[in-house]
Amino acid sequence: MSAFLTVKNLSAALHGFDQRVLRSVSFSIDTGEVLGLVGESGAGKSMIGKAILGILPSAISIIEGEILIDGQDLQKMKPADRRRFIGATAALIPQDPLTALNPSRRIEPQITSRLVDILGWSKADARVRAMELLNEVHIDNPERVMGSYPHELSGGMRQRVLIASAFAANPKLVIADEPTTALDVTVQKQILRLIRELQERHSTAMVFVTHDLGVVSKVCQRLSVLYGGKIVENSSVPDFFKGPKHAYSRALLAATPKYTDPDASLLPVDESVIEAVAAEVLAADKEWRHGR
Amino acid sequence: MKLLRAILLRLATMSVTLIGAAVVVFFVIRVVPGNPIAMMLPPGASEEDIARLTAHYGLDKTILEQFWIWLTGVFHGDFGTSISLRQPVMPLVLGRLPATLELAIFALVIAVVIGGAMALTGVRHRETRTETAIDVANGVGLSIPDFLWALILIVLFGVLMPVFHISGRISPSLDLPFVTQFYVFESIVRLRFDLWWDLLKHMFMPALALAIPLAAIISQLLKQSLKETMHLDYVTLSRTKGYSENHVILSEALPNAVLPTLTLIGVQFTFLIGGTVIIERLFSYEGLGNMAIDAVINRDLPLIQGIVIVFALLFTIINLVVDMTYALLNPRLRHA
Amino acid sequence: MLDGRGSIKRRLGARLWLSGTWLGVMALLALFAPMISPHDPLAQDLFAGRLPPFWMNGSDPAYLLGTDSLGRDVLSRLIHGARIAFSVALVAGLATAIVGSMLGLLAGYMRGWVDVLISRLVDIWMAFPPVLFAILLIAVLGTGLTSIIIAIVVIDWTRFCRVVRAEAMNQSAMDYVSSAIVAGRPRRDILWREILPNVLPTIVALLTLEMGIAVIVEAILSFVNLSISTDAPTWGGMIAEGRTSIYQAWWVLAFPLAVLFLTVLSFSQFGEGLKDRFDPVLR
């Protein structure tokens, strides 16, 4: 069976500029598998998730490549069909729970709206489902939370609500865009465990965007390391932590605190490594331009 | 408790403003040269007649005495007697107020519809030529005041393409069954849609003139806040749920972007009502503003005072209502 | 992104340039009106009444834009009208700006009872319909240019006061003001040398806006027949005159209306353009 999500040679660029922000990105994920997208800020890791979901900023557009979900090519769909297809099969767990909930609406419709408006559920069914989900994300009094406004909930609670909302329609693909970065360290672990729990229970394919290799080691089976919008290494998680192949990956790993040995000294990513990987990206660019 | 205290505080400042306005007008118009009594008597009236009438209207007393008499009267609901129309001021003013209110509200509706539609279109097609066109239209609409729009409309739709009436409130040939002065409202209640239509055809031009600048302001501000809202995470998130762009704008972005515009509409609505004074004059519309200009020309001091106080009261009430609506609509304030 | 900003900048430039040109031409016409205008704006020729503009049948090449019902040359009246309009705009605009900005600066910087007093005064002023207020004032002051200018200042100072007060309050909260206070500079010095220069761009933008408003107020007052004298060639007076004969001679209304429209539009666009030019974020 072919992979559930396949991204092939995906390139994106700013309007009016020759410079690409995504450089021929390719990867695939099977059902029930979690892929980590790792890189420093600005490496384009969130951009990939946005490209898949069709929410790239208006100034950026896909210039070549394919995104296949369940064998269907998103680029070939009409915009309206594509939107509905994404709404029914995929979901996003956003980065900042403080800004990702509509401040003027209660929690209940924010969880159930997709079920009612896009998938045609009855309001009553959707409500039952929302209660179920809030239980699944370990919220003690779902009744009260559903009637609340976002500003009445804590950051951790809001992220639970957003996770519940993401899993509401049994998505086959979830894109988690640094879902714990904006949270307190104490809450981070719980949320991470929760995402993993739901992903396993629903055997969802998941793209997990993060800058934290420690998180990757806990959640993902495979990972791709990005630099400058280009994947420099694809690897399985165990192999990667045994010894990354690419110099940049090694430097990145050396710069990450280890849970096994938190006192070990951290090395900043070396200038020469950055220069080497940047040169590699530029060389690939040259080749790409030549090929067109 | 907090809310109650805020309201009481507002009422207190409101009354200070109103009394201040009353004082300013009272003393400004007492300086008006020209004896209103002499103007209402036929030429060649005797000195005694003039003196007698002057005493009748209390104009022989000192300004402070006159103010005191007027102020005590106001607290009893008596605003004095119009010199030129020889009737009590309050019924006169209240008789004209509905016509002005109907005109202003109609103008507000037009402004909200046009401005809202332009803002939504501009956001739907943002960063395209359509948005640029809307920006230019907003710029022109904002720069030109209602007085000029009124003249332009008169030339365009009154003379070159005479589609609308440009004079009066209702066709004089029609029989009017109305018992109130709220003609538009009453024509609907009485199911007299022929009269209703005639009223609207008369009101449309002056209302549109009043509405254009406000529509431009609404369009500009609402579009700007919508565009800011469109970048927020919850709007992006709702896009991934499968909603259309129109739905995202209308049900996710709009409710959060509308508050600043709402406050602005409140303030601007008082300016719009202020604009009715000259617009009613231009279109011979028989409202309060038209009466006010006549009152000034006739040096009808009690009537001027009455009209100005009613305008001032109207403005302060609108501001209060706007503040309260704002508090009611904002969930964060409501629960605080 | 960059090309987007480039086009915005170009658009702003065109706006400033176009409106500036129109205002410049009008100002020149106003300045040299007696030399330029082909006829005496007051000269009546009852045999040449309501002549149409040059491109229509029955026109007289001596009267390019036609004549009004008393046979006065529309073009000459427009040119002389510019003189009155620009005098009012300049004097009333500047006077309003000075009075309003002074009070606004005082309120915003001094705070305390000065602020309370001035703000309450603004509230009271805002409770009057401005046009009614203007008509009332002209009734008190009598007609004439000076009365119009005084009326505009008395009514519109609040526009500057409100904006400048808010801006002065913003600036007072900035660090550079705090450090000036710590340095022991006198308050008046801080107000003049630190705060005023930073508020000035706002005042200048408002000033051009106010000049457009002054032109309109003059027109409205002429229209209600309370401005100068019925004979004098004011744009508002011409509009009032033209309105009585729109069906017979539309040009008597249309030309002054078009000129007034473009002038008011240019004043406001020029102000907006200047504001953007001075705005460090856009620059």
> What pLDDT, on a 0 to 100 scale, did the predictor assign at position B47?
77
> What pLDDT, on a 0 to 100 scale, did the predictor assign at position A52?
94
Does B9 contact C at CB distance below 8 Å? no
Name chain A contacts of B255, Cβ cutoff 8 Å.
102, 104-105
Q: Cβ B241–A102 below 8 Å, yes or no?
A: no
* pLDDT surpassing 60 at residue B203: yes
Name chain B contacts of C120, Cβ cutoff 8 Å.
13, 16-17, 20
* pLDDT surpassing 60 at residue C82: yes
Residues in chain A with pLDDT values less than 50: 1
Lowest mean pLDDT among A150-164, C120-134, C168-182, C268-282: C268-282
> What pLDDT, on a 0 to 100 scale, did the predictor assign at position C266?
94
Q: What is the mean pLDDT of residues B151-157?
A: 89
pLDDT tens across C16-49, in order? 899 999 999 999 998 988 888 887 887 777 777 7
> What pLDDT, on a 0 to 100 scale, did the predictor assign at position C2?
38
By CB atoms closer than 10 A (0-12, 13-18, 19+), residue A25 is buried
Name chain C contacts of B147, Cβ cutoff 8 Å.
216, 219-220, 223
Does B336 contact A at CB distance below 8 Å? no
Residue C9: pLDDT band (50, 70, 90) is low
* pLDDT surpassing 70 at residue C228: no
Out of B234, B255, B335, whose CB is closest to A99?
B234
pLDDT tens across A99-149, in order? 899 988 899 999 999 999 888 899 999 999 999 999 989 898 999 999 999
Shortest Cα distance from B327 to chain A (angstroms)? 13
> What pLDDT, on a 0 to 100 scale, did the predictor assign at position C8?
54
Q: Cβ B155–C120 below 8 Å, yes or no?
A: no
> What pLDDT, on a 0 to 100 scale, did the predictor assign at position B32?
63
Residue B333: pLDDT band (50, 70, 90) is low
Shortest Cα distance from C35 to chain B (angstroms)? 30
Does B275 contact C at CB distance below 8 Å? yes
Shortest Cα distance from C6 to chain A (angstroms)? 13
> What pLDDT, on a 0 to 100 scale, did the predictor assign at position B40?
65
> What pLDDT, on a 0 to 100 scale, did the predictor assign at position C135?
87
> What pLDDT, on a 0 to 100 scale, did the predictor assign at position B336?
41
Does B214 contact C at CB distance below 8 Å? no
Predicted TM-score of the model (pTM) = 0.86
Percentage of residues of chain B with pLDDT beyond 90: 40
Q: Cβ B32–C269 below 8 Å, yes or no?
A: no
Percentage of residues of chain C with pLDDT beyond 70: 92
Shortest Cα distance from C177 to chain A (angstroms)? 35
Neighbouring subunits of A (3+ Cβ pairs under 8 A) = B, C
* pLDDT surpassing 50 at residue C282: no
CA neighbor of B265 nearest in space, from B309, B311, B334, B323: B323
Across the A:B interface, residue pairs with CB atoms under 8 Å apart total 71
